[in-house]
Structure 1
Amino acid sequence: MQPKTDFVKFLGKGSYGSVDLVKYIENDGSCPVYAAVKTSECEDYDSLRREIHILSKLKGCRSIVQCYGNYKLEEDFDDEGFRVYKIFMEYAAEGNLTSLMDSYKDRRLPETMIKDFARMILQGLVSVHSHGYVHCDLKPDNLLVFPCRQSYELKISDFGSSRKVGEHADCWEVDSPFVGTPIYMSPESVHSGVAEKALDLWSLGCIVLEMFTGVSPWSDVDFDDLASLLLDWKAPEIPESVPCHARKFLETCFARNPKERGSAYDLLLHPFLRGEQKMENVISGFSLPPLKLKIRRAPKKSTDTSKKAMKLKIIPPKPPQFKPLKVKIMPPKTPASSFIHV
């Protein structure tokens, strides 16, 4: 007998579908299971199919949101009788990074938490990039927050805009060059609309900067002027309030030459992140621990048009380029005290 399914609440809407919280109640009286169900209409079928295909490649990665079942789309019908497709994913009880920052004074997170979150994002990107994909829409709205003991785990979600390395965007035009979410985009993606690994590292820099300052990148720039700034290879301003070691990390993420940003693996070894943990802890994080979830508030829906992602089409990819890494093992320092959410 199939478990009973109850709709709990609406969680939000993205570029390629809406997300609801659903509760499954087994007939044996066991504890209910909560799942975030992403539903897309037929016109977005290709995006949802691509997303679940990428998620199946990343199955077991601790820093990537996981799916329930056998990683296949479920076909259903909406209230009006139209065919829809669904993905069942683990539910982030704390919402997304945007909602977490909103709960802090001035939206600024503690530095220890910022370092931990940056590590988790990079651990996820190591897996994504090693499989030959680029996320293309990395931003706080797409980073889900899971309770974990007295702290949090951050996981990358929403791979609907993701592409293989080297793919081009059909929506790229000289007078409308945005491919992704504009305020988190890199200059080279505005110049050419090509998906490369380094653009995810630029987006990571924007996210880390936002966690330090509490404001979105380019918050003082009119949307109409943003394209010209990126076309001139400008980067968001890093205020003096950002610590020196974090500033150097951000300057690497915002390097004008994408090659100078290195790789996600390189950034995991950056002094900004390396000092707090032993090396094996910094580069680990690819297994899934048991996770207990509870219902809390849904993440806020952004109404800023500059935060909406653009759609791309698939073009045969160029072969990914790799280069040998040189890793210098530094003596570990005594771990800092773990952060506590307030």
Structure 2
Amino acid sequence: MRRYRKKAKIDHQTKPDTKFIKSLGKGAYGSVDLFSYKKDDGTAFYNAVKTSDSEDYNSIDREFRVLTELRGCPGVVQSFGNSLLQETDSEGKKVYKMAIEYAAGGNLTEFIRVNRRLSDSVIKDFTRMILQGLVSVHGHGYVHCDLKPANLLLFPRYDQETWYCSYELKISDYGLTVKAGEETVCWETSSPFVGTPLYMSPESVRDGTTVEKTLDLWSLGCVVLEMYNGKHPWLGSGVDDIKARLLGGNAPEIPETVPCDARLFMETCFAREHGERGSASELLLHPFLTGERKVADEAAGGVRRRVGLRIRKPPSRFEDTITTHGPKQKARLRKGPL
């Protein structure tokens, strides 16, 4: 089946003056490292670089072309350059590299682990940003297929006057992304899930070959649940057990301690019939995300109040971590002692 019309260009030019800083992590389709790049004036800036070997070329090629199409879209991690960079590793094997913006705040999985229970306001702010990213992705006809906290990156923005650290959250890792209604390349009989089993919907198991945009909305419900719970949905269950529960009509359990509006939001995401989940744009208007904002605006005379939270481990201050009075659509977290 023809999914894309042409391959991404490969850049064989000599790479710029770079310095390896540290490894940021490894995944199923490659590794990500942090590099500094020297400018002509002697200063440096920082980029993350994703590297895949020739066996995983199709994945990084797909991701680069999707990110190229989504450049400038809100809620989407940004890539750089007009083509993939082709190099040879220390073992003489061909590898392909893609430069993307560096998220100094890490990913949402790490953020939940370090800060433990997140406040209701922070969860709502993060949920809005995820949905804004999904509006961008879905608006271009794509389904992300692997929405989970590990693929949600945090970009800190510092305000020197107030000492607030605000976070901008963006969706990353588009290696499994496909066009809505098309077949997915990752489904196998031995692993009957479109993406990561813990965050996948019933139809990803039941159908297995084609995907729709509402698949990402089930995954979003799992992410919101994890922000409230502090632990993975289906924790302690194996793949076969998760499959059986999904096919049996079950959804992840929502604790009684979760606020009513958040519960209703997640129940919408977990609708058995995927058409009943609505769309990312419609979920942005859900009372879970609009109720607090209306009350806050009225209390502040129309001015949105800040969301404060002490950070247990503030992110490193690299030059690409911008000092700014960032836009309102950022979760604001006050720096402070442990």
Question: Could you say which TM-score interval applies, normalised by the shorter chain?
Answer: 0.7 to 0.9
Number of the residue aligned with 1:122: 131
Looking at structure 1, the residues matched to 37 and 259 of structure 2 have their Cα atoms a distance apart, in angstroms, of 46
2:157 aligned partner, one-letter code:
C
Alignment of 1:138 with 2:161, yes or no, is no
| Pair 173,15 (structure 1): closer, same or farther in 2 beyond 3 Å | closer
1:217–1:80 Cα change, 3 Å:
same
> Residue 167 of structure 2 contacts residue 333 of structure 2 at CA under 8 Å; is this kept in 1?
no
**2:286 matches 1:263:** no
Q: In the superposition, relative to structure 1, how do residues 225 and 154 fare at CA in structure 2: closer, same or farther (>3 Å)?
A: same
Is contact 2:80–2:99 with CA below 8 Å preserved after alignment?
yes
Which of 176, 182, 202 does residue 161 from structure 1 map onto? 176
Tell me what 2:28 maps to: 15
Structure 2 CA distance for partners of 1:91 and 1:235, relative to 1, 3 Å: same
Q: When the two structures are aligned, how many residues end up with a matched partner? A: 289
What is the one-letter code of the residue matched to 1:128? V
1:152 corresponds to which of 167, 171, 174: 167
Identity %: 58
User: By how many angstroms is 1:171 displaced?
Assistant: 4.9
1:249 aligned counterpart, secondary structure? helix
Q: 2:48 aligns with which of 20, 36, 40?
A: 36
The CA distance in 2 between the partners of 1:245 and 1:170, in whole Å, is 37
- How far off its partner does 1:182 sit? 0.1
Distance 1:148 1:248, change over 3 A: same
Residue 195 of structure 2 is matched in structure 1 by 180
Q: What residue ranges of structure 2 are gaps of 5+ in the alignment?
A: 1-13, 159-164, 298-302, 305-314, 320-328
Alpha-carbon distance in 1 for matches of 2:237, 2:288: 28
Task: Return the letter of the residue paired with 1:89.
Answer: I
Alignment of 1:103-252 (within 5 A): 103-104=114-115, 107-149=116-158, 150-173=165-188, 176-193=191-208, 194-252=210-268
Larger fraction in strand? 2
| CA distance 1:295–1:245, shift in 2 (3 Å) | same
How far apart, CA to CA, are the structure 2 residues paired with 1:25 and 1:46? 30
TM score, norm. by length of structure 2? 0.80
Matched, 1:90 2:84: no
Aligned residue for 2:195, secondary structure, equals coil
Deviations 1:226-268 (A, max 9, x none): 1111112210000001000100000000001111100000000
- Of the three residues 67, 71, 79, the one matched with 2:90 is 79
Partner of 2:7: none
Partner Cα distance (1:124, 1:66) in 2? 12
Cα distance in 1 for residues equivalent to 2:71 and 2:79: 8
Deviation (angstroms), 1:222 = 3.5
Separation in structure 2 between the aligned mates of residue 41 and residue 95 of structure 1, nearest angstrom = 24
After superposition, give the CA deviation of every residue in 1:190-233 in whole Å (9 maximum; x if it has no partner).
10112110010000000000000101001143433111111122
- Encode CA deviations 1:48-85: one digit per residue, 9 max, x unaligned: 11101110111101310001223x11111111111111
> Cα–Cα, structure 1 residues 102 and 192, in superposed 2: closer, same or farther, change >3 Å?
same
What is the TM-score normalised by the length of structure 1?
A: 0.79
Secondary structure of 2:145's aligned partner: coil
Q: What is the rounded CA distance, in whole Å, between the counterparts of 2:274 and 2:233 in structure 1?
A: 19
Contact 1:92 1:293 in 2 (8 A): no
What amino acid is the match of 2:46? Y
Counterpart CA distance in 2 for 1:272 and 1:153 is: 20
Asked whether the 8 Å contact 1:21–1:91 carries over to 2, the reply is: yes
User: Are the counterparts in 2 of residues 63 and 155 from structure 1 also a CA contact under 8 Å?
Assistant: yes
Query: Are the equivalent residues in 2 in contact too, given 1:91–1:293 (CA < 8 A)?
Result: no
Greater relative contact order (Cα < 8 A, sep 6+): 1
